[in-house]
Amino acid sequence: MHSQEKVEGFYFKARYMLCVMMTLGIMNVYSLRNGINVAILAMVDTSSNGTTSATNYSYESECTIFNETETENSKVGKFQWTISQQTLVIGCYYYGYMFMNIPGALLAKRFGIRIVLGLSGLLSSTLTLLVPVLTHQSVYLLVAIRIAIGTIHGVTFPTAITAWGLWAPPLERSRLLSITLAGYSMGNCLIFPMVGLIVTAASWEAVFYITGSLGIIWSIAWLSIIYNSPAEHPRISPQERKYLQESIGTKKSSAKRPIPWKRICSSPAIMGIFAAHLSDNWATLTLISLVPMYRARVQGFNTKAAGFLSSLPFVLRVVMNVLWGITADFLIGSKVFSTLTVRKISSSLTLILAGVALIAVAYLGCNTLPIVILLASAVGILGMATSGHCTSYLDVAPIFSGVIFSISNMFNSGIGFAAPQVAGLLLVDNSLASWRKVFWLAASISVLGGILFGIFASATLRSWAKEKETIDDKNGQLMKTTDP
């Protein structure tokens, strides 16, 4: 069956509806996760009677060109939190998130993607509504609820990868996964400027009331219209069900199939994926977590401007995510490049280029326009990596993709709290020299990950991950199996 065969006037609408809803769900996760990265600028008192006197940490910007007009930035907050407490608030989300990845994959495998993602969204959104009340009581209650929300969100990406192991045919993997994972860039595109506007128009508390309410609405919609697999979907056409089951090779459920932990953990190809995933996470999370603070504390922008400028890189990332995902599938399908070559271009090359961009940022000082362009370029380039190491999980072991991803994401989630905490240690003052260390570290890790993926990457199906029912695809390189 041709990959573009029409089904009832549409192109395989069931999996595209899943793609839309999952993208919106990941947008919701990132709005709940990262809204505080900008809101905290309006929550903390940075006046001489606030954080500065408590910590001997100066927020006076070296880039004084903005200071006369952007004074809003220095005296709007109520809470006298130290820099360590601020980085703790930002990074603590990942304490629980880290440890729920493998359980999340197992839960999705056992109970299905519908109930796992639906309940995760509902619970985390409800807890978000409580953030303002608890924050006014204690910074450590805020930390506790952020840990709880992160724990609940830990199931998200393993479940998403599990879903596409069941729903994504080989020649559509790059685009479907790229669009889905573009949800986190879309979420950042929206949440950073939205928080700035909400804080300016209302209050920082309103940020959590609005994002929590939107999350509840999404959760109800997800539970109402999404199903676990093509076999269970009551409204999918027979043609689409047959096409997906035959092209993916999942006619029967693999929920009870033993997980080959030893083969997974000893595979060089999977180790290469893990290395790229780690370096991508460190660079991206450094940018997501700390760039709003860099905009405000170093470049001197107020909360609204810092939020808007911090969103721009993710606009480019969305564009690169989607366009390169489509391009990658075209290059593979038309046999311009092999699957492996496309994966290496998508991850190895982009991780190295992103590292170079971050190093350049470290030496641009107060030159705002070049910094904006280079940060946008670094984040945008990393969007291509979705068609690289992220999609490689589906290439090498689609039926275990959620579990394998969860192993990687568990360790990589540690970066979510490690990156801000390490940055807090490096930022001994608010100088450009201290920030230069933060960017150099992220750049070095990014380049190393790109090199390791280039050495160990593979795009062939492992024999231990092959379904007995799998049939050969017309594109032999996608269905070929190998070890280890």
* CATH code of 213's domain: 1.20.1250.20
Residue recorded with tokens 């408590």: 54
Per-residue pLDDT, 59: 44
Q: How many CA atoms lie within 13 A of 341 on its CB side?
A: 8
How does DSSP classify residue 461? E
pLDDT of residue 372: 77
Global pTM?
0.69
- Are 23 and 157 in contact by the 8 Å Cβ rule? The answer is no
CB atoms within 10 A of CB 433: 11
Is 208 inside a domain boundary? yes
Structure tokens at 72: 């809003």
- Cβ neighbours of residue 296 closer than 8 Å, sequence gap 6 or more: 41, 73, 302, 303, 306
Q: What pLDDT score does 53 carry?
A: 38
Q: Residue 244: what pLDDT?
A: 83
- E strand intervals along 83-204: none
Computed over every residue of the chain, the mean pLDDT equals 79
Residue 472 belongs to some domain of the structure: yes
In a domain, 154, yes or no: yes
Residues 428 and 279 sit within 8 Å (Cβ to Cβ)? no
What confidence score (pLDDT) does residue 476 get? Answer: 41
Q: Is residue 67 part of a domain?
A: no
Question: How many residues are present in the chain?
Answer: 484
The confidence score (pLDDT) of residue 236 equals: 86
Residue for token pair 């959620």: 402
Give the total number of structural domains in the chain. 1
pLDDT value of residue 44: 84
Q: Please state, in angstroms and rounded to a whole number, the distance separating the CA atoms of residues 190 and 38.
A: 12
The residue segments making up the domain with residue 274 are 20-51+81-242+264-482
Residue at 160 is within a domain = yes
Is residue 57 assigned to a domain? no
Asked, for residue 247, whether it belongs to a domain, the answer is no
65 in any annotated domain: no
Angle formed at CA 48 by CA 42 and CA 53, multiple of 5 degrees: 105
Q: Which residues of the chain have pLDDT under 50?
A: 1-12, 48-60, 64-75, 251-253, 469-481
What sign does the dihedral 158-159-164-166 (CA atoms) show? positive
